[in-house]
């Protein structure tokens, strides 16, 4: 196998639209659920939250499951914030305003606030979501194109 062929199989072509859709779903569905499970508030993600919740006296398996669930959720939240913090500033701004706000924010509000035209805003929004997929290391949020078959 040649070096070029190795690189192609190691880094398959990203399906950008499918990846954008997957990252959007992550921020709209998965991430808010993980924030709730972790016991944190979406508006206080920058600073750690110490929980003094009383222990639940239940069946041990249920308690173990809840502990694992909470630790997993905390890890997702932590890795999300780490990935977001290495994105460029405009990507951080767009993602934080759109998905890390405690109230519903619409795209048009953000593009007006940051002073972009609609088309330019969506270019940067898509770029931000793709960059986040690159930096998020807990799961692979990329969707890949089917490999092209060589004609012989």
pLDDT band at 60 (very low <50, low <70, confident <90, very high): low
pLDDT, mean of residues 89-99:
97
Q: Determine the length of the chain.
A: 152
* pLDDT (tens digit per residue) in 14-43: 999 999 999 999 999 999 999 999 988 776
Domain borders along the chain are 15-135
Quote the pLDDT of residue 40: 81
- Write the CB contacts of 1 (distance below 8 Å, at least 6 apart in sequence): none
Label residue 151 exposed, middle or buried (CB < 10 Å: 0-12, 13-18, 19+). exposed
59: pLDDT confidence band, cut at 50, 70 and 90?
very low
């Amino acid at each position: 196998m040649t070096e070029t062929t190795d690189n192609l199989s190691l880094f398959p072509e990203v399906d950008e639209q499918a990846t954008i859709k997957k990252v959007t779903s992550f921020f709209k569905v998965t991430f808010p659920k993980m924030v709730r499970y972790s016991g944190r508030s979406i508006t206080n993600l920058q600073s750690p939250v110490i929980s003094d919740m009383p222990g639940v006296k239940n069946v041990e398996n249920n308690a173990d499951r809840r502990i694992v669930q909470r630790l997993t959720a905390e890890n997702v939240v932590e890795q999300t914030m780490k990935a977001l913090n290495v994105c460029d500033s405009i990507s951080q701004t767009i993602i934080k305003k759109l998905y890390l706000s405690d109230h519903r924010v619409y795209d048009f509000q953000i593009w007006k606030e940051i002073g972009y035209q609609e088309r330019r805003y969506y270019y940067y929004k898509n770029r931000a979501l793709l960059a986040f997929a690159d930096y998020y290391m807990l799961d692979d949020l990329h969707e890949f194109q089917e490999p092209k078959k060589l004609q012989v």
